[in-house]
Amino acid sequence: MSRLLITGGAGFIGGNFTRYWMRQHPEDRVVVLDALTYAGNLESLQDLESDPSWRFVHGDICDRELVEKLFREENIDRVVHFAAESHVDRSITGPDAFIRTNIEGTFSLLEVARAVWQERDDVRFLHVSTDEVYGSLDTQDAAFTETSPYRPNSPYSASKAASDHLVRAYFETYGLPVLTTNCSNNYGPYQFPEKLIPLVILNALEGKPLPVYGDGKNIRDWLFVEDHCTGIEAVLQNGKAGEVYNIGGGTERTNIEIVETLCSCLDRLVPASLSYREQIQFVTDRPGHDFRYAIDAGRIEARLGWKPAMDFETGIEQTIHWYLDHRDWCDRIRSGAYRDYYEQQYSQRTR
C-alpha cells in the first residue's frame, strides 16, 4: 500500500490522474493538495468525495509548514507533483505566479521531502514536467529525447526548466529518489477551456470565432490525458530513481489541422446551418511562439513497456462528447461559478 501526495490534483491532468489512480489502486491513501487557483476546480473530483481513502487539502505548495505537516501526518511515501501555473499565454502577460509556484513551489516540496524522508530509498518524488523545456524544433529536426538540450522560450517553459534542474540537483546532491517526466500536449476531459482544444469546441458551439494564432502551421504532439496517466503510473512504479522519461503520443498535428478536425467532427455530431470552419479566424501570433514540439518516447517504451492506448481521432471524438455532455461544468467554469463550490462544500467542514 502506498501513501500518495498529489499536488495540483484539482487541475486538468492531476484530476484525471487522481481519478485514474484511485480506480486502479483502491487500497492506496491519496492526499490531494491544491491551492484552487483559477485552474483548480474541486467539482472535477466530486465523485471521489465519499471515498474515505481520499483527502483534499486546500493549500499552497509554497507553504512549507503545511506541506511538512501533511508529510508527517499522512506518512507520505510517494509525491506526484502536478501543481503549476501551466498556461503559456498567461506566463507572457504575468510571469510572477509562474516563478513562484513552478520554481519556489517545487523547491519547497523538495526541501520537505529531503527533511522528512532523510536517506530513505523506499520513497519516490515524481515531478511532472513538459516537453516545452526543450524549446522549439524545425520541421526536419529529430524529436526531443531525454538528452536534448534545454532551450526554454517562454516564462512558463523557463520556470518548468528551472524546476526540472532543481529536481535533478536533489538527486545528484542529496540522493533524493526523484523521477521526472517530460510530456507533450495533453487533451481530454476536464481541461480548462482556455487551452486550444476545449476553447475551440466551446467557441464553435457558441457561434464565436475560433482563434488560430499566426498561420496555424505550428505543430504540437498530442497525447490523450489518460495515456499520460498510465505513463506516470509506469514511471512511479518501475522507473529508476534519478531518471528522466519523455512521454508523448507520436501524434504531430499543425494547429490548423487540429481546429479543422474538431470542426469536421462537430459538423457530424452537432450539424449547424454552416460548417463550423466558417468561424475560424487567424489572429496575431503569440510572441516567441514555439514552432514545433515532438517527443521521442523510445526510453519509456523500451524500459517500462509503456505505449499510448488511444488513437487521436477516437480521443478527439471522446473529448468532444465529454464537453457536449458536461455543458454545466463548462458554463460554471466560464462564469466563475465553480469557485463557489469549494465554499459551499467545505466552509462548514474540515477534512
Q: Cβ(68)–Cβ(61) under 8 Å?
A: no
| 62 vs 212, beta carbon nearer ligand TYD | 212
From ligand TYD, ligand NAD, none, which one binds at residue 213 (CB under 5 to 8 Å depending on kind)? ligand TYD
Rounded to a whole number of angstroms, the minimum distance from the CB of residue 219 to ligand TYD is 8
From ligand TYD, ligand NAD, none, which one binds at residue 220 (CB under 5 to 8 Å depending on kind)? ligand TYD
| 12 vs 107, beta carbon nearer ligand NAD | 12
Asked if 39 touches ligand TYD (CB under 6 A), the answer is no
Please count the residues of this chain forming the interface with ligand TYD, following the rule CB under 6 A: 12
Nearest to 69 by CA among 43, 102, 108, 39: 108
Question: Is 132 part of the annotated catalytic residue set?
Answer: yes
Rounded to a whole number of angstroms, the minimum distance from the CB of residue 119 to ligand NAD is 27
Rounded to a whole number of angstroms, the minimum distance from the CB of residue 241 to ligand TYD is 28
| 132 vs 296, beta carbon nearer ligand TYD | 132
Kindly name the residue from 132, 164, 226, 260 that is annotated as catalytic: 132
Rounded to a whole number of angstroms, the minimum distance from the CB of residue 109 to ligand TYD is 23
Q: Which residues bind ligand NAD (CB under 6 A)?
A: 7-8, 10-14, 34-37, 39-40, 60-62, 82-86, 101, 105, 128, 130, 160, 183, 185-186, 192
Q: In what order do the strands lie in the sheet with 54-58?
A: 54-58, 29-34, 3-7, 78-81, 124-130, 178-183, 244-247
In whole angstroms, give the CA distance from residue 136 to residue 134: 7
Asked if 13 touches ligand TYD (CB under 6 A), the answer is no
Burial (CB < 10 A; 0-12, 13-18, 19+), residue 341, is middle
From ligand NAD, ligand TYD, none, which one binds at residue 234 (CB under 5 to 8 Å depending on kind)? none
The β-bridge relationship of strands 244-247 and 210-213 is unpaired
DSSP state letters, 263-330: HHHHHHHS--SS-GGGGEEEEPPPTT---B--B--HHHHHHH-------HHHHHHHHHHHHHHTHHHH
Using the contact rule CB under 6 A, the part of the chain among 5-13, 56-64, 160-168, 192-200 near ligand TYD is 192-200
Kindly name the residue from 34, 43, 131, 252 that is annotated as catalytic: 131
Written as nine digits, the cell of 347 is: 466552509
Written as nine digits, the cell of 235 is: 514511471
Asked if 199 touches ligand TYD (CB under 6 A), the answer is yes
Nearest to 293 by CA among 328, 333, 255: 255
Angle CA(86)–CA(333)–CA(341) in degrees, nearest 5?
105
Question: Is 150 part of the annotated catalytic residue set?
Answer: no
Kindly name the residue from 156, 190, 245, 276 that is annotated as catalytic: 156
Question: Is 74 part of the annotated catalytic residue set?
Answer: no
The β-bridge relationship of strands 252-254 and 219-224 is antiparallel
Asked if 212 touches ligand TYD (CB under 6 A), the answer is yes
Written as nine digits, the cell of 327 is: 455543458
Using CB under 6 A as the criterion, what x/- string covers residues 79-108 for binding ligand TYD? ---------x--------------------
Residues marked active site are found at 131-132, 156
Residues that bind ligand TYD (CB under 6 A): 88, 185, 195-196, 199, 211-213, 218, 220, 255, 286
